[in-house]
């Protein structure tokens, strides 16, 4: 068993979750991350973001001295297994950005040796793992390398990690054997593929979910535009009928689904029409809601409250949240826009729920946090989440 591993980007949502999964197996983890504020919190046993059972796992890890940290490259401690968990955004042209991963790989060329194994856990454009491996080879660093995508719902990593088979795509048989040996600590069911096949599997899955949500949003807009009760229609489609398993309409965003759908579109030479249509539908839901309100109310005389600023329910993550797009569009038309969220801590403009409820003329449930079910008011509440 590997007694210690390194996780680069180990203070983020994916990296820290995997770190805690490893410490639960009594594996020491060296966390390297440039986010010094998150590292300070982790050292104190405080989770920097929401993760079910995270506080309990972290408390045990800190108590047992299973975590070490670095924030500068010259302090980085490499081990036999080194996992890279860095964000992979798209640029303004909706194309994937390589620079975050290539920059760290180039820095690592100064310290890597033949005994190190790099495992890429970021979601990447197909071909990236092999491309990064070639960069290392060009620098005379012929090390083992694998792609190992995360498969859990954000915030439920500790609960879901062992529920599904793991997928790995290694650049050669030696890397595959070593990666499999490491992951067998957690699971015996591992699917092995080429790196490109593993990379595109992850993109296919996220794009599939994004398209699914767009169908629900399209259905909602069709029914709503015809003045039909979509909540009743949704109930009729799903009640005791397994083939009617359609998700709720609502804001579909976050750091993965939109980005990975655009990565797949770029990989297909912009020949992924379903993905582009899904993007148009999901992103366009904000304008649809505002247009509907403008037809019914004089928003220039109304204070509008947005309930929920994170990208999904019971989360504190605001990355790519459509709530902020809604805020921006409403700000052009409304007297004032107020925002609230019980979990988001890194937005100084967020007010308490009571403050927003008392001062708003209209409220929009942008994120279906459970707490909003308890609201009792005669004021106007706009809600498209039919399962809420």
CB 321 within 8 Å of CB 281: no
d(CA 341, CA 309): 6
Residue 119 in tokens: 């495992």
- Whether residue 269 sits in one domain with residue 177: no
Residue spans of alpha helices (H) in 32-172: 36-43, 54-63, 99-108, 128-138, 157-160
Question: Most confidently modeled of 158-162, 251-255, 349-353, 384-388?
Answer: 349-353
Question: What is the rounded average pLDDT of the residues 326-347?
Answer: 97
- Judge if 41 and 188 occupy the same domain: yes
Q: Are residues 205 and 187 in the same domain?
A: no
What percent of the chain has a predicted confidence (pLDDT) above 90? Answer: 91
Q: What is the pLDDT of residue 152?
A: 87
What pLDDT shows up at residue 221?
A: 97
Please, are residues 116 and 143 in contact by the beta-carbon 8 Å criterion? yes
pLDDT band at 285 (very low <50, low <70, confident <90, very high): very high
**Is the distance from CB of 25 to CB of 131 less than 8 angstroms?**
no
User: Are 366 and 310 a contacting pair, CB within 8 Å?
Assistant: no
- Per-residue pLDDT tens over the stretch 211-239: 999 999 999 999 999 999 999 999 999 99
Q: Which of 193, 218, 234 is the last residue of a domain?
A: 193
Q: Is residue 115 part of a domain?
A: yes
Q: Is the same domain home to 355 and 225? A: yes
- Measured in degrees and rounded to the nearest 5, phi and psi for residue 219 equal -60, -45
Angle in degrees, CA 316, 320, 323, rounded to 5: 70
CATH of the domain at 144: 3.40.50.720
Residue 161 lies in a domain: yes
Separation CA 91–CA 186 (nearest Å): 35
DSSP 3-state assignment of 236?
A: helix
Its domain, for residue 369, covers: 201-382
- Rounded percentage of the chain residues whose pLDDT exceeds 70: 99
With respect to residue 388, please indicate whether it lies within any of the assigned structural domains. Answer: no
Which helix (H) or strand (E) segment holds residue 119: the answer is: strand 117-120
Q: At a CB cut-off of 8 Å and minimum separation 6, what does 378 contact?
A: none
Give the tens place of pLDDT for each residue, 61-101: 999 999 999 999 999 999 999 999 998 877 776 777 778 89
Contact criterion met (CB below 8 Å) for 39 and 31: yes
> What's the whole-number mean pLDDT along residues 257-266?
94
- What are the phi and psi torsion angles at 285 (to 5°)? -65, -35
Pairing label, strands 28-32, 4-8: parallel
Q: Detail the DSSP E strand segments found in 237-342.
A: 303-307, 336-340
167 vs 174: CA distance, rounded Å: 16
Give domain status of residue 344, yes or no: yes
Tokens linked to 192: 């092995």
Same domain, 144 and 206: no
The total of structural domains in the chain comes to 2
Q: Are 178 and 250 members of one domain?
A: no
> Where among 136, 164, 193 does a domain terminate?
193
Domain contains 225? yes
Asked if the structure places residue 170 within a domain, the reply is yes
Q: Are residues 229 and 347 in the same domain?
A: yes
Same domain, 210 and 330: yes
Please state, rounded to an integer, the average pLDDT across all residues of the chain. 95
Of 130, 159, 193, the residue at which a domain comes to its end is: 193
SS3 35: coil
* Dist CA 150 CA 67 (whole Å): 21
- On the 0-12 / 13-18 / 19+ scale of CB atoms within 10 A, 301 is exposed
Q: Which helix (H) or strand (E) holds 362?
A: strand 362-365
Judge whether residue 165 has pLDDT over 80. Answer: yes
Among 129-133, 313-317, 376-380, which stretch is predicted with the lowest mean pLDDT? 376-380
pTM of the model: 0.93
Give residue for tokens 């390589």. Answer: 98
Sequence-distant (6+) residues with CB within 8 A of 151 are 160, 164, 166, 167, 202, 205
**pLDDT tens digit sequence for 183-207:** 999 988 999 999 999 999 999 999 9
Residue in this structure with the two tokens 């929920």, named with its chain if needed = 308
Clarify whether residues 137 and 176 are in a common domain: yes
Predicted confidence at residue 87, as pLDDT, reads: 85
Q: Are residues 37 and 183 in the same domain?
A: yes
What is the arithmetic mean of pLDDT over 282-286? Answer: 98
Would you say 124 and 195 are in contact if contact means Cβ atoms under 8 Å apart?
no
State the pLDDT confidence band at 388, using cuts at 50, 70 and 90.
confident
């Amino acid at each position: 068993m590997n007694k210690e591993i390194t996780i680069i980007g180990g203070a983020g949502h994916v990296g820290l979750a995997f770190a805690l999964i490893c410490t639960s197996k009594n594996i020491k983890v060296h966390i390297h991350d440039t986010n010094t504020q998150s590292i300070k919190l982790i050292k104190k046993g405080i989770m920097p973001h929401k993760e079910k059972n995270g506080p309990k796992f972290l408390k045990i890890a800190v108590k047992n001295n299973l975590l070490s940290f670095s924030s500068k490259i010259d302090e980085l401690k490499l081990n036999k297994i080194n996992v890279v968990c860095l964000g992979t955004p798209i640029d303004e042209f909706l194309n994937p950005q390589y620079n975050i991963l290539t920059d760290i790989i180039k820095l690592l060329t100064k310290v890597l040796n033949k005994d190190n194994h790099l495992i890429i856990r970021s979601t990447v454009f197909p071909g990236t793992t092999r491309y990064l491996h070639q960069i290392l080879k060009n620098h005379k660093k012929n090390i083992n390398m694998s792609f190992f995508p995360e498969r859990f719902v954000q915030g439920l990593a500790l609960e879901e990690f062992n529920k599904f088979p793991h997928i790995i795509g290694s650049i050669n048989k030696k890397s595959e054997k070593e990666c499999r040996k490491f992951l067998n600590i957690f699971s015996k069911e591992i699917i092995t593929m080429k790196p490109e096949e593993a990379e595109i599997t992850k993109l296919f899955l996220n794009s599939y979910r994004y398209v699914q949500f767009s169908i629900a949003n399209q259905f909602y807009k069709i029914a709503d535009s015809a003045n039909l009760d979509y909540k009743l229609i949704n109930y009729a489609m799903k009640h005791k009928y397994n083939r009617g398993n359609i998700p709720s309409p609502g804001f579909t965003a976050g750091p993965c689904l939109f980005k990975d759908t655009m990565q797949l579109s770029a990989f297909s030479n912009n020949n992924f029409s379903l993905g582009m249509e899904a993007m148009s539908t999901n992103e366009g839901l904000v304008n649809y809601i505002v247009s509907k309100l403008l037809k019914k109310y004089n928003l220039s005389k109304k204070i509008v409250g947005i309930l929920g600023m994170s990208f999904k329910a019971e989360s504190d993550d605001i990355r790519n949240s459509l709530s902020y797009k809604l805020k921006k569009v409403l700000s052009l038309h409304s007297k004032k826009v107020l925002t609230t969220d019980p979990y988001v801590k890194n937005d100084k403009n967020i007010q308490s729920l009571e403050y927003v409820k008392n001062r708003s003329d209209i409220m929009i449930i942008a994120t279906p946090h459970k707490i909003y079910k308890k609201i009792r008011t005669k004021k106007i509440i706009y809600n498209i989440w039919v399962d809420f």
